[in-house]
Structure formats: C-alpha cells, structure tokens
Structure 1
Amino acid sequence: MAVMAATLTVTFATAPPAAADEGGQCSFPSKPYKGRPWALQRVLLNELWRGTDQGAGVRVAVIDTGVSTEHEQLKDAVDASAGKNLLPKKLKKDESGRAQPRGKSNGTTDVVGHGTKVAGIIAARPAGDTGFVGLAPKATIIPIKQNDSNGSGTAATLAQSIDYAVKARADVINISQDTAEALQPESTLQTAIERALAADVVVVASAGNDGLGGNVKKTYPASYPGVLAVASSDRNNERAPFSQSGDFVGVAAPGVDMISTVPKGGHCADNGTSFSAPYVAGVAALLRAKHSKGADRWSQRNIVAQIEQTAERSTPGHDRLVGWGVVDPVRALTEDERRINRPVAKEGVEKGKKPTPAKLQLGETQQERNERLGTYVLVGGGTLVAVVAGTSLICRDWRRRRGSADSGG
C-alpha cells in the first residue's frame, strides 16, 4: 500500500482566485497593495509581537511551488542556502503538451506564485509602499519546491520534502496542499509526518477546498493525528463556503481575499485554505519564538493546543466546520501563562450558580405577619392620637362653657 500511496497526486488547497487589482487574473509583477489587508486589521500587531521579537530565530519550511526571492519583502526572509527542489524528474504536462521548467535547485523559482503568497503571509518584511506584512516578519523561510500548477507533486515527493524540512532544522512546516485519496497508516506520507512530530516540529496543513454543498471528507496530510488542520473563515468569522469540513479540522483562519506577495514584486489577492494555513503557521512561529528557551520551552503539542484553546468559538467545544474556532493571534500570544497539552471544551463558558429553591409556605409568612402587625400598630397609633386630640377639645369646650355659666350667675 505504501508504494501505491506514493503515486497519488497532491493538489493545491486553492479556491477560485481573486486579484488584488480590480478585475482580471494576477500577473507577475503586480501593483503593490497600499492599505492594510482585512486579515491584518483584525489583529493588533504591536500587541501580537510583544515578547516574540517578531519570530526571529524561528525557521518555517514552506513546502510548495517554490518561493521567489525577487520580491523586496521576501529577499531577506528566505534562506536560499537551505532551500531544496524536490519536484519529480518527470513532470506532468499541461493541456498544450508542455511541462513547466523545474527551476533552481534551491527552490527559489516560483512561476506559479502559490508558494510565494504562502511565504509572504508568514514572514514578509515590512515595506514603505504597502500595509501588508507577514504575521512573523522576522522568521526565516526554508523554500522547498515540491509541486507545480500541473500537479506534478506526489505523496512520495511530499514525504521526502517533510523529511528534508526536518533535516534543515525547521521549527514549523507549512503544507498548503492535499490529497483526498485514502492513505493507509503505513504510507510514506504518514510515516514522514510522524517523524516530523517526533522531532518536535509543528506541522500545519490546509484542510482543503471541497466543502461546497456541505461535503465532508478527510484530506491528507491534514487529517493525520498531530497535524494542525486549518479551514478557511470569512470576514464574519464564519466558515468560507468552499472550506473543507470534518472532525479533523483543528481551527479556521482568514482565507477569503487574502493579500500577499507575488513573484517579481507587488501583491495579489487569493482565496483558499492554502492561505489560511500560513496565517496559523505565522502564529505558531511567534509562539515558538516566545517559548523557546529552558524550562519555558513549549513542545509542538503545547503550541497546537494553545492555538486551538484560544480560538474564537461559536460553540463551547469543537465542531466540524471551524474546529475549535477562528484563530485569535493576540489571545494566543497573551493568554499564555501556562502550557497545555490539549484544548478543553467549554473553557471560558461561565456556569451560573443554581438558584436556591423557594421555601413552600402554606400559611402566613413571618414577613407577612410582621408587615400586618406593623400596619395594625400604625393604624392603632393614628386612631389613639385622634381620640386623645378629640378628648382634649371636648374637655376644653366643657371648661369654657362652665366658666361662662359661672360668670353669668
């Protein structure tokens, strides 16, 4: 079964694309995006980066179509010396019968643009002509080219890429591609994932984009135990219609109109869980940077659990649409007083104190009796005052009449 699994084609987790400019497909180079993309507007970046040194020292492997170093925001982010091109020697041909060139051996050729967008969301450096920046803008990208737009990548080359990322000292691995074919536990892909997890590497993978119509199915490697599978959310923090659903989904992250870097410069927008996964990988890089030393070092399991636990939830626990919720980068980096190994359902949901049952009283209560007696006293006191006052008037008039009679006699 392992040999059969190795022949499976690995596809990109990309929904129908959108362009950053008005209308048309994205071209390379493209125009710079002037503003701050919506997916970054939902984050207080200064608060997010406090205590993390913006991910400096953390290495993130991007297993994709390569990462272009021609973009100003990526040229200092990519470790070209550690990159690798693991495309198969025999590449698939497109409809016209042509195959794409394999590109440079270090993985820095990206004619598709997919891997360059993924890398930008993670670690693009700040630039003066745009408000776009990576979530971990001092992290280092390891470019590993394993696929092309014709789907030349296989489960075998993906497994090789994962093993290479571990050897290249990756702290986080981002995989924005998948196969929906059922893979047996002894497949080369799963054993590669298990080796990466055993090496304490955080593995983040896109959940896939076949979710239209409520379709539910497992995708690989996202559904392997230990992998943080990421679905897509929209501007309302709800599941994007295309986003794959399933019990394997760990969290969701923005995946609609995602602005990022493209080869040769500028920015474009795109949709898909391909771009939700690096959003989460950027948060993982910041957590690894913040909790990387001595007794405070967090394992990959701690980092995954923290991201899941602090996600913004629509239900108290896990659901198959957005997992534990939509990732909250600031909360993940600030509510980190203690490490956890797994998320807890109903965390943060306050349970109200049960009311004390009212005591059944068949007759008059003590309070009612006191109120009744008080009323009697008040009414009786008023009556007594009136009687005394009336008696005084009678006596006074009687004395007056008696005095008049005495004077007349």
Structure 2
Amino acid sequence: MPQRPRPRTTLARTTLATVLATTATLLAAPAAAADSGSDQCTFSRTNHKYTGTPWALQRVNLDELWSQSKGEKVRVAVIDTGVDTANPQLTQAVDASSGTNLLPKKDGKGQPLERGKANGTTDTVGHGTRVAGIIAARPEKGTGFVGLAPEATIIPIKQNDAEGHGTAATLAEAIRYAVKAKAQVINISQDTANAVAPAEYLHRAVDEALAAGVVVVASAGNGGMGGNVKPTYPASYPGVLAVAASDRNNERAAFSQSGDFVGVAAPGVDMVSTVPKGGHCSDNGTSFSAPYVAAVAALVKAKHPRWTPREVVAQIEQTAERSITGHDPRVGWGVVDPVRALTEDDHPIESPHPDEGLTHAEPPTPAKLTLGETPAEHNARLATYVAIGVTALVATLSGGAVALRDARRRRRVVGGGV
C-alpha cells in the first residue's frame, strides 16, 4: 500500500522567552503514517465492525497471556485527542470522572475552539479513541478485536485536536494531571519534528511522572523514511519507553523513526481499533505501536504492582523478540512479546542483557580430512574379517566332528564281522 503523508505532531522551534510570551510551542495534528481505510470511517453508530481477529492479536496467545494478567485495576492515561465512550467496547473501559480537557478555549487568533466535553470524552479526530482501544477495549460479540489489557482503566486526557491546538505546555500539564489522577501508565502518541527539543518544563514533567512510579510510553515518530535517524520528544527522554513500529515480518515499518533512543518495536501497520460512536477502522503509525506496548506495561504492572518504571521497561525490553544480540536502532531491543513479558518474570531487572534473547545453536564440528582409510573404516574391515574367520572355523570344526563320528561307526561295524 503506498504511503501517503499525514499531518505529524510538531513542536515549533522557539526560545523559552518566546514560549512564555506566546503561551507555549504549538503542536500540530496527531501523527499517522499512512492511511489504510481510516478516511472511509464515518464515525457513526452503524460503522463497520471488524468481524475477524486483527493480525496484531493473532501473533499473541491471548489465553496464555490473560492467564497471567488482564491489567485489572491498572490506570492508563491516554494523552491524546480525547476518548469517545460511545463506542461500546470503551464504555466500561474509560473512567470519565477522572478525565479532563486541556485544550485552550481560543485559538491563536482569539477565536473560540470547539473543545468538546470537559472530561475528555469527545474525540472528533478518532486518534485517541483508537489508541485507547488498543490498550483496553472490552470484548464484544461479533468482533475478534479486543484490547491487550481488557481489564485496565483508561483516563482520557484531551490535549490535542486535528488542527494541532495543543501545546508543549498543555502536554506537560497533561502529564502532571495524569500523575494526580493516579495513573500507573501514561501513553503519549505524539512526537516532535526536526529533532527540536521542546522547553525544559516538558522534560521536568516526564521526570516527575517517573519519580512518582509511573511508566511513560511514547511513540518514536513516523519520520523514518529513507533510514532517517533523529531523536524525537518526549520519546527520547531518559526513562521513557520509546516505541517504533514493526510489520507482519517483525521488521521495522518503512515510516518508523530509528535511533538509539528506541526501546522496542510493536505492530504499527494496519492496526485495527475502536473509533468514535462504534465500530472499527484501520490505520498505520507509531501512534498505534505505543499503546500496544502501554497495554503490556499495564499487564506487567497488574501482576507486579511494586515494580518500578525502570523494572517494567527493562522487562519488556529483555523479553522482546530479537534478530541480533544487543540493541538495534531500528527496533530497539526487539519486537515486544507480551507472553514472554508475563511469563519470564521470576525476578525484576533494571536493564536488558545484550547477550540474552537469542537462541544460540551449537556450532558444527568439522570432520577430519583423511586421504586414506580412516581408523573407523580400518576397524570395521578387521571386524568383518574376524567374523568371517569365526564362521569358517565353526563350519570346519562341525564338519570334522561329523567325519570323526562316521569313521568310528565304520570301525565298530568291521570289528563286529558284518
């Protein structure tokens, strides 16, 4: 499917003084890598329902996974374009009473904005609703789609919209709000462009969340065409689990951002998820890889509530499927493996081990070059000769015994006068 550019979240280059003077750096629309049917999604109660099981879920043994954890009671903050609870798979998954809307009431020209509900449950873009579904959508009859952590709770924090009216300041505010709302995992499917680091207050907000014991997961970005390598924010901040996108072959998706800051990769191509009002649509992007990993973090957190953010991140990185030893700037420590993350967890670790994660085969033993008869062949030949000799000897002895017997009989007959 050809890649078609979509608006990306950007933080414009500016000085801190300018930021303070103009409220904050503006953010553009949420990132999506390429369209795979989302434009045909009309966001209606009669919207198409995906009847099968998406490939990103088929790669996981859900029964084995959920025998370990379903993310029960873990609170995951989705900082995005809002989460529409009208979709029946999200109605029970979202804690609307804890949500908020941090979009400004007016745009840069002083015109009123259509903000939606104050609790963050309005999503005219559909981006945040997709993200939330990948994390915690409840099972529903008639579809094989479900969230990876179907008993986790979503905290909807509306911080951006289709026009990118969110700011670096509101993103920092959203992170702090999530901590106060007792989030244990934060998902941020937004990133900067042109490797521009935002104002330091965003970094401080991330550090505060980590210090409070919150796992922070962020998309690595969709600017990776042509092997482009650059840092993005907040994904590249220390302690944040940056997620790249992988395809069905566990390889980096062409659009996925590369860099040393990438922690792991996760499915990000043709990602089916919930949309406003009802039904499902499909889309591509690291925006949808991040919540896949955020869901795994919620599962780990539910099973090991006392593990620190660093330990949760290290567990996910350590158990990822690797194609090489060590870290790969394209997919980090590998493609996330939810089942391994929940089953190979007998003790916490603080960092992944470079030499683990691959199956090491025994090297072949080369045969010795022998120009003549090998010792084994020589022994086999002698054994054959011995066997033949023994057989001949037995036959000879048997024949001699018969001849001797006959001769004795003849002597007795002659001696008797017959």
Q: TM-score range by the shorter chain?
A: 0.7 to 0.9
Change (3 A) 1:3 1:144: farther
Change (3 A) 1:3 1:336: farther
2:66 is equivalent to residue 49 of structure 1:
yes
Change (3 A) 1:360 1:107: closer
Partner residue of 1:75 out of 76, 91, 100 = 91
The answer for the alignment partner of 2:80 in structure 1 is: 64
* Separation of aligned partners in 2, 1:374 and 1:126: 72
Partner residue of 2:168 out of 138, 155, 165 = 155
Deviation of the 1:183 alpha carbon? 5.1
2:332 is equivalent to residue 323 of structure 1:
yes
Deviation of the 1:99 alpha carbon? 7.3
Change (3 A) 1:46 1:302: same
2:37 is equivalent to residue 19 of structure 1:
yes
The answer for the alignment partner of 2:269 in structure 1 is: 256
Contact kept, 8 Å, 1:11 with 1:179, in 2: the verdict is: no
* Separation of aligned partners in 1, 2:87 and 2:383: 89
Change (3 A) 1:51 1:153: same
Letter matched to residue 27 of structure 1: T
Contact kept, 8 Å, 1:228 with 1:304, in 2: the verdict is: yes
Letter matched to residue 105 of structure 2: K
Contact kept, 8 Å, 1:2 with 1:184, in 2: the verdict is: no
Change (3 A) 1:140 1:373: closer
Deviation of the 1:174 alpha carbon? 0.2
* Separation of aligned partners in 2, 1:373 and 1:261: 76
Q: Residue 55 of structure 1: SS of its match in structure 2?
A: coil
Contact kept, 8 Å, 1:11 with 1:178, in 2: the verdict is: no
**Structure 1 segments unaligned to the other structure (5+ residues):** 394-409
Query: What per-residue deviation string (whole Å, max 9, x for no partner) do you get for residues 184-237 of structure 1?
Result: 597111111111111110000001111111111111000111100111111111
Contact kept, 8 Å, 2:187 with 2:294, in 1: the verdict is: yes
Letter matched to residue 67 of structure 1: V
* Separation of aligned partners in 2, 1:164 and 1:250: 25
Change (3 A) 1:115 1:302: same
The answer for the alignment partner of 1:33 in structure 2 is: 50
Contact kept, 8 Å, 1:229 with 1:250, in 2: the verdict is: yes
Query: Does 43-52 or 326-335 show the bigger shift?
Result: 43-52
Deviation of the 1:180 alpha carbon? 2.4
2:148 is equivalent to residue 130 of structure 1:
no
* Separation of aligned partners in 1, 2:92 and 2:61: 24
* Separation of aligned partners in 2, 1:286 and 1:40: 15
Q: Residue 71 of structure 1: SS of its match in structure 2?
A: coil
* Separation of aligned partners in 1, 2:41 and 2:363: 59
Letter matched to residue 69 of structure 1: T
* Separation of aligned partners in 2, 1:146 and 1:131: 30
Query: What per-residue deviation string (whole Å, max 9, x for no partner) do you get for residues 261-313 of structure 1?
Result: 11111111111000010011111101111111xxxx21111111111111111
* Separation of aligned partners in 1, 2:380 and 2:89: 81
Contact kept, 8 Å, 1:92 with 1:150, in 2: the verdict is: no
CA RMSD of aligned residues (A): 3.8
2:289 is equivalent to residue 272 of structure 1:
no
* Separation of aligned partners in 2, 1:236 and 1:63: 29
The answer for the alignment partner of 2:102 in structure 1 is: 86
* Separation of aligned partners in 1, 2:53 and 2:362: 44
* Separation of aligned partners in 1, 2:103 and 2:254: 32
2:237 is equivalent to residue 228 of structure 1:
no
Deviation of the 1:72 alpha carbon? 0.8
**Structure 2 segments unaligned to the other structure (5+ residues):** 1-14, 404-418
Letter matched to residue 307 of structure 1: I
Contact kept, 8 Å, 1:180 with 1:217, in 2: the verdict is: no
Contact kept, 8 Å, 2:30 with 2:161, in 1: the verdict is: no
Aligned length: 396
The answer for the alignment partner of 2:8 in structure 1 is: none
The answer for the alignment partner of 1:191 in structure 2 is: 204
Q: Residue 7 of structure 1: SS of its match in structure 2?
A: coil
Change (3 A) 1:249 1:67: same
* Separation of aligned partners in 2, 1:335 and 1:118: 27
* Separation of aligned partners in 1, 2:108 and 2:42: 23
* Separation of aligned partners in 2, 1:32 and 1:131: 10
Change (3 A) 1:251 1:380: closer
* Separation of aligned partners in 2, 1:8 and 1:227: 22
Q: Residue 143 of structure 1: SS of its match in structure 2?
A: strand
Letter matched to residue 339 of structure 2: V
Q: Identical aligned pairs, as a percentage?
A: 65
Change (3 A) 1:357 1:136: closer
The answer for the alignment partner of 2:323 in structure 1 is: 314
The answer for the alignment partner of 2:121 in structure 1 is: 108
**TM-score, normalisation: structure 2:** 0.82
* Separation of aligned partners in 1, 2:383 and 2:146: 77
Change (3 A) 1:99 1:92: farther
* Separation of aligned partners in 2, 1:181 and 1:2: 18
